[in-house]
Structure 1
């Protein structure tokens, strides 16, 4: 609670996320759920600081697992986030051992989805720079190997595969208290759409929508919310 008070009273509320998602999640984890050093799983971590949903927590003493398929971005995360476990792999929704990863000229749009990479390439500002083969793991494998019993917070941003990954998660065994998931398609012609299937699936697994920044939706586990401290 002292950490939350310090964050809220600070004259500068610094967010590293795209739309302040980390501050919203911090209010949930520190304030409502009473956690002091929440653990996290950041899938599609992208960068150690910029557009990061987990750096705020790292900065305040937490640690977790960052998954990033881009070798150059992975190296940056590993250098900056020394307390974190960093994995240069992709998270798949099947038992496949590897997959093609499409490195885009705009790093934040790199994806395992060939369909999405081709769609991005239709915009003149984005091109496929390289296609590399990357090892795959499942989200269940990562949680089983690195958490006991599961992370408090999961951030998920994989440019097109988020729903498939969420559907592969064993919710009977693993109940992270908070998720932040990208729930809008990327476009440059204002034709973006909310991905309602993700929201519907999370609700079906007893997660409620706590906040929505339009780009990302923040979910909290229903039982954790009912047992909240404040």
Structure 2
């Protein structure tokens, strides 16, 4: 990156650009893990937060496509939630500081069918999304199982330490992201930053998105759009 800057930037501007890059991203040659560059944005937003706390719903993998791996490497800890037992075991091995839970998130406590694919990144509770991956994208369905589910507010009440502020909430529920949002207690658990998938989001008409409308009503501003990921920032941060 430094060599590339030297080639295209006049000498009198290089120091300012290099310094800015270091301040935001911590230097050159960093390893990032997110699928669409989300953790680059997060590194900027949390550059002054040394020991934060995150909640990752639909965590999938401790490294691959992870929006929290870089934060963990920087000393953060948090809660990883995924209904895939093999994913939960991997988190137990790779994220020793974290609390790792094998459960699905839904509006009400109960059980749901969980569609598991050859690519675990697209595992989902949504029959509609399962059809998209299987028929539209030709990703083989590996299994369909029944897993226990609970509202996010109940899970967080059990595992988030008393008085702990949630700095970052990541939601990747493959089609049921709105259900996850609605299952939270927004008076008690109000993250500073939220990353959430919304495959139908249109930047020119954001109000058509149910996710966008919900989070705007809860006091969040859209900060960045990374392909199908939206990053929201709380309008009134914690003191």
Query: 1:6 deviation in Å?
Result: 6.6
| 1:83–1:153 CA distance, 2 compared to 1 (3 A) | same
Does residue 68 (structure 1) correspond to residue 85 (structure 2)? The answer is no
Q: Which moved more, 1:169-178 or 1:143-152?
A: 143-152
| Structure 1 stretches lacking a partner, 5+ long | 187-192
1:144 pairs with 2:157: yes
Match of 1:21 in 2: 38
From 169, 176, 179, the counterpart of 2:184: 169
What's the counterpart of residue 212 of structure 2? 199
- Superposed CA RMSD in Å reads 2.3
Question: SS of the residue aligned with 1:126?
Answer: coil
2:145 aligns to what? Answer: 132
Q: Could you say which structure has the larger radius of gyration? A: 2
Going from structure 1 to structure 2, the CA distance change for 1:124 and 1:212 (only over 3 Å counts) comes to: closer
TM-score after normalising by structure 2: 0.82
Match of 1:114 in 2: 127
Across the two proteins, how many residue pairs are aligned to each other? 213
Q: Return the offset for 1:93.
A: 1.4
Q: In the alignment, which of 95, 99, 104 is matched to residue 112 of structure 2?
A: 99
User: Mean alpha-carbon deviation: is it higher for 50-59 or for 10-19?
Assistant: 10-19
**Where has structure 1 moved over 3 Å in runs of 4 or more?**
4-7
In the alignment, what sits opposite 1:10? Answer: 27
Say which SS state the counterpart of residue 172 (structure 1) adopts.
Answer: coil
Question: Conserved in 2, the CA contact under 8 Å of 1:177 and 1:221?
Answer: yes
In 2, Cα distance between the equivalents of 1:93 and 1:161? 10
Partner of 2:100: 86
CA distance in structure 2 between the partners assigned to 1:9 and 1:64 by the alignment: 22
Shift of 1:202: 0.5
Relative to the length of structure 1, the TM-score reads: 0.85
CA deviations over 1:134-191 (Å, ceiling 9, x no partner)? 11121101221222344211000010100111122221222111100011159xxxxx
The CA distance in 2 between the partners of 1:16 and 1:183, in whole Å, is 19
CA distance, structure 2, for counterparts of residue 113 and residue 52 of structure 1: 21
Q: Which has the higher contact order (CA 8 A, sep 6+)?
A: 1
Structure 2 gaps of 5+ residues are 1-20
